[in-house]
A and B are shown apart, each in its own frame.
Chain A
Amino acid sequence: MFTRSFCRFSKYLQKPVNRNVCKNRKLHISTALCATHSSGRYEDKPEFPGSRSHFIHKLEFINPDDTEGIPVYRVMNRKGEIIEQSEDPQLDKDTVIKMYHDMTLLNTMDKILYESQRQGRISFYMTNFGEEGTHIGSAAALSPKDMVFGQYREAGVLMWRGFTLDQFMDQCYGNCNDHGEGKQMPVHYGSKELNFVTISSTLATQMPQASGAAYALKRKGKDRCVICYFGEGAASEGDAHAAFNFAATLECPIIFFCRNNGYAISTPTKDQYRGDGIASRGTGYGMYTMRVDGNDVFATYNATSAARDICVKECRPVLIEAMTYRLGHHSTSDDSSAYRSVDEAAYWDKQDTPIARLRYFMISKGWWDETMEKEWKKESKQMVMETFARSEARKKPNPELLFTDVYKNMPWHIAKQQQQMKQHVTNYAEHYPIDSHEKWKD
């Protein structure tokens, strides 16, 4: 207001009376701030350090309901037909078949491990039903050197990178072959060689960590980026806000990949947020943003590929929101029929899954047929069953490992407790499951 009054007066600076007005008001603002508008009116621009914009003279709230939602990018329709030929990523046959193999193998593993939990053979499981396309499409667009930070429903990314069925199942069983030494719950996978940072249960904590890792990669300058996966529910955590803001202000080469599958356990998105999903937040943080059809593996591939280019070339973060639907229950501890209709889930299962869509595409190309489908189903099921039996037969790790890796080197008090445990268990051996574990050396 003051600035504006001053500018009005400054027009008449030649006139002594107005100069006095200015003096009396003690306004020492440079006349350079007052630009002459082309219309001849005197205009000024806001000089506030906090934003770049112009003044308006009518009171007007920005109404989020005035704008249509951010559109969903799609390459092929539900029948696997490419809509815009120029958007076809033109992936070769082998790549597409690997995409299909990995999505379906993950699907088969999910079914068997889900059942094994129902039978009490593993303690917990989370399926990936309906979201296989987001995993494979994005993973295929990355370099294997790119670091992955995930939430827990991204096993397909590991599958794409070469995590073996044994590795998946050894982790779920927490047996002596598990690289995580049986310390975490099932589906908390990790792999150093595959640059997949080990999953933890705490939601969204990986997000600002991923920004930090991206900053480190940028400083190393080796053409690498980070991808960070999270669900739309996790995006409500404070850590998500920190992650976006840090990545933008510190110019981190990171792709934030949101799996918006409609639910966070039982909570539908209408209870999760009131804006236009997660994507609408991206530009608020100053990030490149797009929304993609998560059931379209090619759209996901294209979006991730383009995002990776931006990260590596411009050192800026990108937000991708992949719209999808969580076909399965949240986890084995959840019965989703308690909060959503069976019909709703059935619709997505029948009408729009990433696996079916890619299969249509492959059939149209002549790369796939019924016989191949049958054979692959049989083969993949057999592989999973064989691995499952191997993992189940393996012993659990030596109980001593309960105490390792708390620190790089074991401090005295933990070493003392380790000895106490061993002594105690030796004295009361019949009360502990020592036979299912490997023996400790003594």
Chain B
Amino acid sequence: KIIFEKQWFYLDNAIGHVYGTTFEVTSGGNLQPKQEVEETNTETKEAGTDNRNIVDDGKSQKLTHDDIKALKDKGIKGQEIVQQLIENSTTFRDKTEFAQDKYIKKKKKKYEALITIVKPSTRILSTMYYAREPGKINHLRYDTLAQMLTLGNVRAGNKMIVMETCAGLVLGAVMERMGGYGSIIQMYPGGGPVRAATSCFGFPKAFFDNLHEFPLSKVGSLLSGTFSTETLPSEPEDNVLAEEASNGLTDEKQTSLQGTEEESTTEAAMEINQTEEQETMDINAEDVELKENKEKENKENVREKQRKQWERRKKLLETAALLREKNADGLIVASKFHPTPLLLALLEFVAPSRPFVVYCQYEEPLLECYTKLRERGGVINLKLSETWLRNYQVLPDRSHPKLTMSGGGGYLLSGITVVLDKGKSDSSNSEALKMEEPSSKRCKVQDLHC
């Protein structure tokens, strides 16, 4: 049982229908009405030409609030309520054709509760997150995400590094574009990666085979060569729990909109079952007696913990090895953290002639990042940009931009890596570099700085 837009319903009836099917909500369950409701042919063709004689006296609707409520309580179809409202509106006939249209549309929206169940995709999920939970994805608007995927040349076969705190939405978008080919290394802050949005995509299990994760707090030691697995990032158990909890929360919301949860949750459930089975088998094989004693049970838990830790450690070492190759095909950053230190560190893992994209909700940190990258060198074609998105109403004789548009969808800094000059990486040498530049280039640099 789920709730969506002040309606509650069961999803049982929706199973077996194709994606894109529209449902009408009845008391509790789902009915499947025809795809296309026959257009209300009640067009009396009677319409006014202007509103010079329409007076707002608040008495044009002859049905009272109570009458409407009574109609609703009787369980009358929304379509009929709308019809009643029209018939009891004294001004309806005097309204222009367009105004009548608008009136009907408004009432339909209110009384005819229709729900369409669609397949999850980056398009749907990013639009939904931006509308419903912009705070969880750092106000990353969907067109900005689209830019990131294109500027980052995200495609099958790549080895991508992703650092995001967007509930796993950016990760999911990258996974969709890679289609299970290639590998992704997700850098995560804190105890573990958040993938609440990722699970909404309903990716097949195979997509997760080449998805790796690496703690951000280990990047420093990995770069300096002092990396070891001795000190793991904080409690793994807790993180898993926290992650699951947040998964559950968003799942609920997703469900209501998409009805995708069947796939994702069953998948998750299957995974859990599998590991549990394995574990019990291991335990059984080891010693049956252990189970009898509580004290020994604790020991068992410890052993299980150790086993899990050992597995985590193994995965961590694998991921570290992947990073150490320093040949990633791209870097995508979209987080709540200051982008400069992230970029300066993570770019080390990227091969030359590869694109990188950083998202930030604000412009100023990217200005600094731009300057620092210039000082560091090893990057070209730096571009700071933003996109504006404008939606249109297109109707015969009534086309215009929509009344409201999004105020901001964040900023992007993108560029391409190049081979860094050896021995010239410190900032004092960047001056020398500039002097080496042909005169025409030097002029440009100066232009930029003034």
A, B from the same assembly = no
**A residues at B contact (CB < 8 Å):** none
